[in-house]
Amino acid sequence: MNIGKIIRRIKKNKLWFGLNALGLSVAFACLLLVYSFVSMELSYDKFHSNSDRIYRLTSNSNTGASSMIDARTQTRLSYKLKDELPQVEEVLRLTSFRNAIISIDDNSFYSKKVYAVDSSFFQIFDFELLVGNAENIFNHPKHVAITERFAKTHFGHTDVIGEKIFIVHQRDVKKFEFTIQGVLKDPPSNSHFNFDILTSREEDIRNTLDYTYLLLAPETNTDGLLQEIQAKWDEIQDGGDYQPLADLQALTRIHLHSHKSRELEKNSSFQSILLLLSSILIIMLIAFINYSNLNFVQFISDIKTHKIKLINGAKKRNVLFDTIKETIILIIIIIALSFFLAQQFSSYYHFSSFFNLTVLEIILLLLGFALLVILNSIWPLLVNKISIGAYMDKLKQKSSYKVFVILQLALTMISLSSILILHKQLNHINSLHPDAESMDMVVIPENPWDVVSNYEVFKEKLKQHPEIIDVTS
């Protein structure tokens, strides 16, 4: 069958062709988006070469009066582990400056992405250092490394070695001067924590709770190690009221499986991944059921045409090949339209993971999808005899059958639209939360320590303004 005949058949059956193109395009676009999102979620922190040997040490505590499942540990409980336990090759402590005040020249601003780190940072993590010496950058006091985006934003360039910045910890009033000794490539989007500034560790930092990471020796028994860590913690506590329970978390499981207090960033959940996979399975099933139904209706319509071809000497395989050629045209249009829809959705919602799909992943998805479409297209020819009489009754019912199929497709479109509407409604509900901006309420989060320590004075000064009705914390 030449291209001209295919185009004429498409024009003749434009309703069938249009419905199939629309339904399968939306389904494949959803598949692309869900696959890219799930792939990104499952890839968190796997870019580190030793990701299978990196664990985060956390603590669960219960004093009787209060309890906390904390993502952090006390400094005194972790800093000697490398020397005391042979299974531990390296220990890294990240100490957050919380909502730090950063000063560069005459400009000051807040940042929650400032951490003090041990000199073992680059021995555990594989974040790329563009400028500087990874072996000793954090060995000296008052050294700092900044990310590429931070350098370009606040200095206009990355040639910043030797520049000075000043940092004030949220729970302190003293300003510390640091010298920039390195520039890091921006952390990948599939890292469970992001940062703008990393400083060499100062033991006099006010916050004594750290995010602690251990690089373990190969084939370490983590259950046995955990028992040894707990035994040492019990010795340190020596029967005090505070009795923390140690816990080890695999680095690659933090993003989807950890929801402890004081997480570095808000994590996702594995349940959401299962929900998305279930949703895309349902969408694909509905789309292919619609396609199979429409294709079967079209097969009934084409019985006479197929019969004439066979009478004139054509083989059944010739009819199959003609159907495949027509389906390939449909697949090309579906792929083009689905990528357009996925790209528009990703751009509108700033969904960056779609643009991270590899060529191999795209090819495999396309091949699998194309094979399913082709198989559905030729299935009626493979399992049915081409006989006019056997399908005359079904042919008479074709119009009502089409109405049913179109209704089914319409319901699918409504379901997808409902998901988008629900998403917007949830965003609207979240915007009504007291933490959000509103006409009559202002929230000042994470105040500096001098404000916290003098809260009553600060409160009274605020209430002196006639525009402020009341102040609470």
pLDDT for the residue 323: 81
CA-to-CA separations, 401 to 18, 61, 396, 405, 456, in angstroms, rounded: 17, 64, 10, 6, 74
Q: What is the pLDDT of residue 320?
A: 79
pLDDT of 438 reads: 54
User: What are the DSSP E strand ranges found in 372-442?
Assistant: none
Q: Which three-class secondary structure state does DSSP give residue 97?
A: coil
User: Residue 122: CB partners within 8 Å, gap ≥ 6?
Assistant: 129, 134, 135, 137
Q: How far apart are CA 161 and CA 192, in angstroms?
A: 28
Residue by residue, DSSP assigns 230-284 as: HHHHHHHHTT-S---EEEEEEGGGHHHH---BT-SS----HHHHHHHHHHHHHHH
Cα distances (angstroms) measured from residue 122 to each of 13, 78, 145, 464: 63, 18, 12, 51
Sign of CA dihedral 130, 132, 136, 140: negative
Q: How many CA atoms lie within 13 A of 172 on its CB side?
A: 17
Give me the residues of the chain with pLDDT under 70, please.
1-10, 63-66, 203-207, 238-242, 306, 312-313, 384-412, 415-416, 418-419, 422-439, 446
Q: Is 195 left (phi over 0), alpha (psi -120 to 50) or beta?
A: beta
Question: Are the C-beta atoms of 25 and 337 separated by less than 8 Å?
Answer: yes
Is residue 147 within 8 Å of residue 184, measured between CB atoms? yes
pLDDT for 441: 77
CA distance 230 to 246: 6
The pTM of this model reads: 0.80
The letter for the amino acid at 268 is S
pLDDT of residue 407: 62
Q: Which residue is associated with the tokens 């006091």?
A: 141
What pLDDT, on a 0 to 100 scale, did the predictor assign at position 324?
A: 85
- Tens digits of per-residue pLDDT, 181-190? 999 999 999 9
- What does the alpha-carbon distance between residue 340 and residue 334 come to, in Å, rounded to a whole number? 10
Question: What is the structure's pLDDT at 239?
Answer: 61
What is the end-to-end Cα distance of the chain in Å, rounded? Answer: 76
Look at strands 245-250 and 143-147 and give their pairing.
Answer: unpaired
Partnered with residue 59 across adjacent β-strands are 70, 246
Q: What is the pLDDT of residue 17?
A: 82
